[in-house]
Structure 1
């Protein structure tokens, strides 16, 4: 299962970088979304996938004796999801406003429009 998820992380990163390198502003946002999802999945994968008990140490022991579910990667992923949602909503509004002003989605044409003004 971990091998499959590692391959999926690689595919998300590769497709995200490919989309970021395109000239379209919408494809840039889709690439950022794919990279964010790949990073979240990578953090989840690094936390090790185990079906375990909650991370509570019994009173009579000082260390964990059984497999336990690590809550730190899950908390980091939840925080990253909230931050990426804010970034995505800002980027979508920015694209909408830029398209309204410049009337194009192409980043090269947007750059050429700035030089002509």
Structure 2
């Protein structure tokens, strides 16, 4: 199962980097979202799938799932949602001001200075 997750993480990172390197601002935002999902899946995979019982301490349970990766991922999901919402508002405002979402056109030219 870890091999499949490694390939899925690699595919998510590959697609995210491809989108981040594009010129469209919306594709860059989608790429950062994919990158965060790939990181979440990587953290979950590194936490391993070995445990069989929930992380509740009771008598006789010695093999339980580590709750730390799940807590880290939950926190990271909330942070990435906030960052994505901020990026979307920033892109919306930039589009209304500049009438484009092309990053090279947003940069402007040195003749305008």
Could you state the TM-score of these two structures normalised by the residue count of structure 1? 0.87
Other-structure match for 1:82? 78
Distance 1:114 1:47 in 2: 50
Number of residues of Structure 1 aligned to a counterpart in Structure 2: 112
1:1-117 alignment, distance < 5 Å: 1-55=1-55, 56=57, 58=59, 66-112=62-108, 116=112
Question: Could you tell me how far 1:116 is from its partner in structure 2?
Answer: 1.7
Could you state the TM-score of these two structures normalised by the residue count of structure 2? 0.90
* Runs of at least 5 residues in structure 2 that lack an aligned partner in the other structure: none
Distance 1:106 1:8 in 2: 29
Deviation >6 Å, runs of 4+: none
Question: Could you tell me how far 1:7 is from its partner in structure 2?
Answer: 0.2
Distance 1:67 1:25 in 2: 46
> What secondary structure does 2:88 align onto?
helix
Distance 1:36 1:80 in 2: 8
Residue by residue over 1:6-31, the C-alpha shift from the partner in whole angstroms, topping out at 9 and shown as x without a partner, is: 10000000110110000110010011
Distance 1:6 1:115 in 2: 48
Q: Does structure 1 retain, via aligned residues, the 8 Å contact 2:53–2:63?
A: yes
Relative to structure 1, the CA distance from residue 115 to residue 69 in structure 2 (aligned partners, 3 Å threshold; closer, same or farther) is: farther
